[in-house]
Structure 1
Amino acid sequence: MKHRFYILLALITVITACEPVRDDEYNLNGEAPKPSIEVTAIDGNTFIVKDNTPGSFQRLWSFPGGLPANSTAAVDTIFYPKKGSYTMSLFVSQSDGSGTTSISKLIEITDNAAQGCSDKLSLLTGECFPQGRCWTFTREAGAVKVGPTYDDYSWYTAPAGGLQDAQYDDGFCFTFDDFVYQNKNNGASVNPWDGYKVQPLDPGIATFLFSEGTGTGGRDQIIIPDDQFMGVMDADNIMDVVQLTETKLVVRMRLRAANGVPAAEGWFELTFVRQ
């Protein structure tokens, strides 16, 4: 009899476990709440944006004409170097599965951003002269370092002369006039998403922003458009300046996927010298 009782209890447990669990907290057919954003203008054609939408699961900001051009952060700082009318948009997916909604806001930039030739910009751009200044990978060890976090580069350190020839002939150039950035790659770059093959690429001419004190720990930042890169293609376009002298530039940035989205884990530290 005792054995039969155990068997009956086991069957009841199995049947109970197989019953579907209903959670009325989530209504998949409900209407998604309207996104809510807060936009605050600060000095220098710069705006702070904040997502106030309740229940946000995923978000994507779009800032055409701004730097950065896209963001997934709840709070971010956006800079518009040129005067004009711009539309900033937020796309939000809800955690309750009710769908994706969006909201947009039109802003007016009345003047081009004014930025004087500071000491740091002078170092980056070659004393702000019209010819600008180009940087290239150092041939010493550590030109490329990779690690899991901002201060840990234990995954990989490039040995002396360990990069491909197509990387050593690249020049990453900054010009003060109109804040021009140009990746002078001699027509080809190393593609990390295709076996690190050297492939034809024309990055074109872009712009850059030098933002003082906005990086990790108050470091300065170099920001280029998200379709550009400095050094390696899978490096993010927002770079913290670790060291900047007349002859040396060290930057840190996150790893990113081929679609431009920063990886959940992984950082680069890249070291350049004057070309």
Structure 2
Amino acid sequence: MPMRFILSTLLAIVSLVASAQVSEPYRDASLGAHERAADLLTRLTLDEKISLMMDVSPAIERLGIPEYNWWNEALHGVGRAGLATVFPQSIGMAATFDNDAVLAAFNAVSDEARAKYNGFRREGRHGRYQGLTFWTPNVNIFRDPRWGRGQETYGEDPYLASVMGEAVVNGLQGPADSKYIKTIAGAKHYAVHSGPEWNRHSFDARDIDPRDLWETYLPAFKTLVDAGVGQVMCAYNRFEGEPCCSSKKLLIDILRNEWGYDKIIVTDCWAMNDFHNKRAHA
């Protein structure tokens, strides 16, 4: 299912052909994205499937799939893609206690993102910060002032982080019943990722009380999953002795099985390298 959602996401945001008058179902824009993705999945080789799971997805010319770069940010406006409207940092938005204002802000962000994306496409550009998949919002709980990303969050309250994060997702992705997705939001960093900055690649959140885990650190992620967020980003740190990006408890038992999440899981930059090469987790 995750690979099918990757393909349906690409089909939803990327036009693969100029005309729908073609024989292959995946080229038929009158069909639903999941139906088209299911057909496309049967046509891809194993190596091609693996390549589409990378941050920089290469073009697969024989199937009309263009190059795509998944890396993009929009925590308080479209980031690093030329001129854009700059909104307050997330912690400043949280201080308004105004969900409708946050929703309006991210409706504007996704409008700008679509306009920029269309411009980049016309120029044949497919680089970093030029796509429609955003690693936003950050719904971690800000408890430790030594953490360097507190300004990206909505503070220390799980409920506020939940409702504001949901407004961001709705603003970025558009109405749930729409045929087209405006952009793809991403809930990060899953989970318990708000410890000291200096050892964020190796910090082990081992002694989290179960009640604190479920009542403080997980509610915002659950809210965003229920809101249909298209991506969940696993965190750098460890949880109960295991890297978050390989945690069976977090990724399988809770996210996939208990919450029923069937969309994309992405790693934070270098998170896989941290424990695969044992650079920071040795």
Task: Flag the structure with higher helix content.
Answer: 2
Same-fold call, TM > 0.5?
A: no
TM-score by length of 1: 0.25
Larger radius of gyration: 1
Task: Flag the structure with higher strand content.
Answer: 1
TM-score by length of 2: 0.24
The structure whose RCO (Cα within 8 Å, separation 6+) is larger is 2
